[in-house]
């Protein structure tokens, strides 16, 4: 079960931290507070912790699966289920990664249209975006990893400190009384929060491109831990600023918080925020596009550049079909449900299957 990847295409274990972080953090960071507060109110910060801890368990399972196979999910499906059933499952996983990339792609365009260029058509923004996506993805996995690094460092350094400005208006009594909601309400909020952590499962595709992958496990967990810290910090800052009813009707709470920052030389801070957010979503989309192209190459032996052209054309087509914000939200809800069952049911099932298969083949 050996994977044969040329060493010049591999990345150091340390970069898994940035790959995991970039796969998790996306456009959802602008609006997740509104979703999780509906069930658990201000106790929703507990939901962030619970969902984050469960992701750590799933990352451990995925590493166990990948360590046994020493290959990616495409090989694992065929190893566990045979050529035909495994091939069908591979088609599903490729579509799954494609839809993730499409959702983030279209959601970011929606943010740009709402906050920066309301008169620009979707196709105009998407064409510019697609050229850049082609350049990065066609350059290979190491270039995508470099984008993940800068897409983590630059936005965090510039944007996270801006959230501190809102603490001037903080009402910490919003958080009291603690534990004021039932277990079912908190679990319902945790289910909503899980959507924000989806994306780490691309580890199933890029694992063979990690140098000494067994050493990357701690960096993957550090990446998840850092996203938990980020989500928890933003959640608490948002809760102490917004009234609960106001928050439920605010579409992009994080962006609203960042707008509070006042600078003498910048009048429209949201322009800077939305522009820096581009560095967050770009590596996220690139990784999923790369995963789709890599999967198609292994499944049907199609060149990655050709499959990339096809994916980008479909991105352009579907992004112009999804014109309204409600259409995007419906697609997000569908993906959230599928993603929830994929990581909480299918990943443990695959974990058990490959362990049993390993024992039977010994």
Q: pLDDT (tens digit, 9 = 90+) per residue, 205-231? A: 999 999 988 899 999 999 999 999 999
Sign of CA dihedral 184, 336, 68, 283: negative
Do the beta carbons of residue 289 and residue 99 sit within 8 Å? no
Do the beta carbons of residue 56 and residue 227 sit within 8 Å? no
Long-range contact pairs involving 162-165 (C-beta distance under 8 Å, separation at least 24) = 162/258, 162/261, 162/269, 162/273, 163/233, 163/234, 163/237, 163/254, 163/257, 163/258, 165/260, 165/261, 165/262
Q: Rounded to whole angstroms, how far apart are CA atoms 279 and 152? A: 8
Q: What is the pLDDT of residue 262?
A: 67
Q: What is the pLDDT of residue 159?
A: 77
Closest residue by Cα to residue 312 from 98, 96, 95 = 98
Q: What is the pLDDT of residue 322?
A: 83
Domain locations in the chain?
18-357
Q: What is the pLDDT of residue 244?
A: 79
CATH 3.90.1150.10 is held by the domain 18-357: no
Q: What is the DSSP letter of 12?
A: -
Q: What is the pLDDT of residue 264?
A: 65
Q: What is the pLDDT of residue 5?
A: 60
Q: What is the pLDDT of residue 54?
A: 94
Q: What is the pLDDT of residue 358?
A: 80
Q: Rounded to whole angstroms, how far apart are CA atoms 219 and 75? A: 24
Look up the pTM and report it: 0.91
Q: What is the pLDDT of residue 337?
A: 87
**Which residue numbers in the chain have pLDDT < 50?**
1-4
Q: What is the pLDDT of residue 267?
A: 67
Half-sphere exposure of 313 (CA within 13 A, CB side): 6
């Amino acid at each position: 079960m050996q994977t044969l990847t040329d060493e010049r295409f591999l990345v150091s274990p340390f970069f898994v931290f940035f790959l995991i972080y970039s796969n998790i953090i996306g456009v959802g960071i602008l609006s997740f507070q509104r979703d999780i507060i509906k069930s658990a109110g201000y106790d929703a910060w507990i939901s962030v912790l619970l969902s984050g801890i469960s992701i750590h368990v799933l990352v451990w399972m995925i590493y166990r699966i990948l360590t046994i196979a020493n290959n990616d999910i495409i090989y694992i499906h065929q190893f566990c289920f045979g050529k035909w059933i495994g091939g069908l499952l591979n088609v599903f996983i490729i579509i799954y990664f494609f839809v993730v990339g499409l959702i983030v792609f279209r959601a970011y365009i929606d943010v740009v249209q709402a906050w920066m260029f309301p008169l620009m058509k979707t196709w105009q923004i998407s064409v510019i975006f697609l050229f850049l996506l082609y350049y990065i993805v066609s350059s290979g996995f190491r270039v995508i990893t470099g984008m993940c690094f800068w897409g983590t460092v630059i936005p965090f350094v510039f944007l996270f400190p801006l959230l501190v400005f809102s603490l001037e208006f903080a009402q910490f009594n919003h958080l009291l009384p603690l534990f004021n909601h039932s277990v079912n309400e908190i679990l319902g909020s945790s289910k909503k929060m899980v959507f924000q952590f989806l994306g780490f499962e691309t580890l199933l595709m890029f694992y063979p491109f990690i140098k000494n992958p067994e050493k990357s496990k701690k960096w993957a967990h550090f990446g998840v831990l850092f996203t938990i810290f980020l989500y928890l910090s933003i959640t608490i800052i948002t809760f102490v600023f917004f009234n609960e009813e106001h928050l439920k009707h605010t579409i992009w709470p994080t962006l609203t918080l960042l707008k509070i920052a006042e600078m003498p030389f910048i009048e429209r801070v949201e322009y800077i925020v939305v522009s820096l957010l581009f560095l967050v979503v770009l590596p996220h989309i690139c990784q999923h596009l790369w995963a789709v192209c890599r999967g198609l190459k292994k499944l049907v032996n199609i060149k990655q550049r050709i499959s990339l052209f096809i994916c980008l054309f479909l991105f352009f087509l579907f992004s112009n079909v999804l014109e309204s914000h409600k259409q995007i939200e419906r697609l997000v809800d569908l993906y959230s449900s599928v993603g929830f069952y994929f990581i909480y049911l299918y990943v443990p099932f695959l974990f058990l299957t490959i362990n049993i298969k390993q024992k039977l083949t010994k």
